[in-house]
A and B are shown apart, each in its own frame.
Chain A
């Protein structure tokens, strides 16, 4: 059998569904159903023309793979059509406002894509002799310089693969520095309740116990409570600034000073750096380590959930402990790659290697392209417009929605609302799904955890005023419906490719891979 599933898949058409769908195929004009490749492909079909392999005696150690693997192929036109049809079931920045708070869904410039695809960057092997990759090392070095300048820090570790990986890098630097001081016994990391989940997960991975720091009524770290908890067992605090409520931590410098006074370090989650780039340098606030999500502040594409990139800027105190490999510029302008072989006496305190190669080079070229395109003036304007857009959303909606910290002053790059004034029985999820029907991706929901039914709106600087006005009108109308108890919201979305999906069913009986219908039935 070469066709994996000769019957193919058709949407299951119950009489009710058929009446509703009103089409024979289950499609609705441009809304097209698409089967799985396993239902339309065959193991004999291929979309690639390859030369016939010459005859030869295999030297595979008698381990030839003889059994069918079960990988379907499609010809090129079928392949392009399959993925194009699937792509149309996705919402994306290219389609409209994508106001996910804390995620920074800004426009992804296509020049970045073009530059990353230059053969001199895209077609270079990580283990080529360093003399043959001087341009690649120059990109890493040049980006490193700008990240250091933009943050006012001392050094930068470029290799972490994503934000959470960068957090781990920063915490490992802190741990190495403490151990070098003979203070490896410090076992506590303090994390505010509003932090991203990655913060406590990272600290726990590195062997620390995590304690919450309470917040004040205006949504910021409670400095007095923090000071009261600080002591010789505290290794570090992890603070997000601007924080996940979209507020600047006014006391950041005092927090840093207090932590340093007891011998601890300050880790800053830099996920929201886009709000302050060009206007505030974290280094001036006493930060010891901060990761920068290149896919947020510096516009590299999110790609449906990665790849990200998370370089970590470091203070002078932590820089000696940063990971291998890294790029060093020699006096003659030649770039050297410092790795296990060459680390020698120059960098003996490195905590070691975090990834096989040099980090996300493809993201470095994109981020550098972005930085050079904006320049010093443009980056500052990025922060200002991001903050302006968020405050515009906040003030346009704070009479319709409840903004828990709205009274306390302006927000930074994101506006936070709660579900406080919705009708009985209505919650944040209903607003989110109603917004889908209006043609928008919902805001971040139920995060941060410190606000009930949180709705976190981050418009970013790449939205126009007209675009924002339309979005604000749509959100207001959905909220008004939720306040009025409009029950049609409870079953929204009505116009998306799928209605609400049963996540409980998915988790209770996980189906994680496709099986031939007979095999799936046998497994029941």
Chain B
């Protein structure tokens, strides 16, 4: 077996050193009833690289790759171009095959990347500080709600109807076990966000208001008044960003005084990968840092006075605090954070802003073109690279019909909100720098046909 260096000669010699007569002697503590003497049911014997590659390639060929068709799906994960050097760097063994940097003297590479990542993320989100990443946007969102509970010592969170329904589901699952009360709602299929309604709901029991920016339908709302209303009631504003490229074009939630800003970092440097691994972004105001979950890297000095980096404030974490930790989280998503950081470094501010413009202007042109289609109405007044169409019929069937023609048209709200009749005709369409005019034309024509 190509991954196992020991030879039979080695094994015999080692058993002799140990003083065991056979390998079974080393498994003597396993009770007889649990010993598995036969092979694993159905699992073939070891296979060559070539054979495994053939099997996996056959499976891969049964998927339609986003890059091979006109593609408009977003809603929490976005198709962007990732520069070749990003993947090259994350495949360097020194990053790929390193462990959590518990021995900082020989892990400065990972630690400095974490420190740079934290700074990039904090600046992008407009927060004072950021951590070294979470599992993904949805778990980061849940952790933010828990953090707001610890800070305010209140247990009622108000979730905007514009928050990704899967994020709401995750929060709802977790809230069952922590006793948090969640006030949730559905989005309305029109141009206005629910900011005013959220403000009206805030009271003395509110721990936080959670609002997505841009929201699930792609709408962009000014969060300033909402932040003020939260603070007037000593509640926190949690903003969720599922498309970080947007923050190259629109004000950051931090600039509008959000207390905690979380996000899904997948758009920058990390591919679609059918949903994971992704990278959760998590930033907050400095005064709340000790209630933050997840890994943090901090600057310090070594014994010779040289600058260096270490994991810090670990007294918040499970391996020290055990049942009193701020979270049970043990890993972060460091390799994806590296990909994010490399891509962001390649872009730089100038590149990020240009990328954001390309996305926005492309999306605006697509919205105009699709609005010309009979039976299509563009719901949004404002959007970044994603907007919602109201079709003249249920969008689920339309999405399926277009998929049969090799056009991946977007996300039907019928899939995201099963049973919500008011939303059934909604279709969320994402347009990025990878979308061509021909793609938009193909979508427009196919919609024309499907809605006729």
Contact = CB atoms under 8 A, between A and B. Distances in A.
A62 B327 CA distance: 38
A303 B305 contact: no
A340 B418 contact: yes
Interface stretch (A194-202, A227-235, A419-427, A475-483): A194-202
A503 B274 contact: no
B342 interface: yes
A438 to B, nearest CB: 11
A498 interface: yes
Interface in A80-125: 80, 82-84, 86-95, 98, 100, 103, 105, 107-109, 111, 113-125
Contacts of A384: 23, 26
A88 B94 contact: yes
Contact of B303 (A125, A308, A354, A500): A500
B345 A82 contact: yes
Interface in B1-60: 1-6, 10-11, 13-15, 17-20, 23, 25-31, 33-36, 39-47, 49, 51-53, 55-60
Contacts of B88: 80
B246 to A, nearest CB: 9
Contacts, number: 729
B49 A506 contact: no
Given A387-B26, A441-B106, A74 B298 contact: no
A486 B307 CA distance: 27
B176 A352 contact: yes
A14 B39 contact: no
A8 interface: no
Contact of A361 (B104, B252, B276, B338): B276
Interface in B104-157: 104-110, 112-113, 115-116, 118-120, 122-124, 128-130, 132-133, 135-139
Which of A55, A203, A204 has the most CB atoms of chain B within a 10 A radius of its CB? A204
A445 B75 CA distance: 44
B287 interface: no
A433 interface: yes
Contacts of B383: 59
Nearest to A363: B277
Interface in B362-421: 364-365, 380-384, 399-400, 403-404, 408, 411, 415, 418
A182 interface: no
Contact of B273 (A38, A108, A124): A124
B4 A122 contact: no
A426 to B, nearest CB: 17
Contact of B39 (A358, A377, A447, A499): A377
Interface string A339-369: 0110000000001111111111111010011
A353 B96 contact: no
A115 B85 contact: no
Contact of B169 (A114, A127, A352): A352
Contact of B277 (A103, A161, A356, A502): A161
5 contacts: A63-B251, A135-B58, A207-B177, A355-B136, A362-B274
Given A105-B99, A197-B321, A387-B26, 18 more contacts: A17-B306, A46-B348, A46-B351, A51-B433, A61-B382, A89-B106, A98-B97, A124-B64, A136-B63, A149-B43, A201-B322, A351-B176, A352-B169, A373-B2, A373-B46, A379-B40, A388-B18, A391-B20
List the 6 closest A-B pairs by CB distance, nearest first.
A73-B348, A357-B275, A120-B60, A303-B335, A94-B93, A135-B62
